[in-house]
DNA sequence: GACATGACACACG
DNA sequence: ACGTGTGCCATGT
């Protein structure tokens, strides 16, 4: 039967990431929780690593607003965020201003 | 199945 | 604020 509902953990997480508004950020843990996997923060990161370019992976950062990606990838994430108006201080983002919380 | 890895999160000091 | 140890869990070997 042709049914296209998200079954896997990663499909659910990608769907969550897609709803992060432009100019906002959220955390790996929050993505996991919103997707229904409260202990899946690491899997959220893993899934972004393998996701295609159609996913705003740069809007997902670590708890406390810290950019966890290292090297060239981290630089690219910062550039993408600033291009959307998110201010990044070193490796930090002010979640009070740019943090997004998923509503029920 | 065991072991290692990783874009996490949390508790400590 | 920062480093370390522990718990967590999908993937790859």
pLDDT in tens, A61-101: 999 999 999 999 999 999 999 999 999 999 999 999 999 99
Distance in Å from B4's C1' to A63's CA comes to: 25
Greater pLDDT, A13 or A1: A13
List the domain boundaries for chain A: 9-98
Residue A5 in this model has a pLDDT that exceeds 60: no
Confidence of residue A1 (pLDDT cuts 50, 70, 90): low
Task: Quote the CA–CA distance of A47 and A87 in Å, as a whole number.
Answer: 25
Task: Quote the CA–CA distance of A85 and A34 in Å, as a whole number.
Answer: 24
Distance in Å from C12's C1' to A51's CA comes to: 18
Confidence of residue A51 (pLDDT cuts 50, 70, 90): confident
Task: Quote the CA–CA distance of A104 and A97 in Å, as a whole number.
Answer: 20
Residue A3 in this model has a pLDDT that exceeds 80: no
What CATH code is assigned to A9-98? 1.10.10.10
Helix (H, G, I), strand (E, B) or coil at A61: strand
Question: Which nucleotides in chain B lie closer than 7 A to a protein CB?
Answer: 6-10
Task: Quote the CA–CA distance of A84 and A32 in Å, as a whole number.
Answer: 23
Distance in Å from C13's C1' to A50's CA comes to: 19
DSSP A57: G
Nucleotide with the nearest C1' to A27 CA? B8
pLDDT in tens, A26-35: 999 999 999 9
Question: Which nucleotides in chain C lie closer than 7 A to a protein CB?
Answer: 1, 7-11
């Amino acid at each position: 039967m042709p049914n296209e509902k998200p079954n896997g953990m990663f499909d659910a997480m990608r769907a969550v990431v897609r709803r992060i508004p432009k100019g906002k950020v959220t955390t790996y843990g929050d993505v996991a929780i919103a997707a229904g996997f409260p202990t899946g923060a690491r899997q959220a990161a893993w899934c972004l690593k393998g996701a295609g370019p159609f996913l705003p992976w740069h809007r997902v950062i670590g708890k406390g607003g810290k950019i966890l990606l290292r090297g060239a990838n981290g630089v690219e994430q910062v550039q993408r965020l600033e291009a959307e108006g998110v201010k990044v201080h070193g490796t930090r983002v002010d979640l009070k201003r740019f943090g997004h919380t998923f509503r029920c």
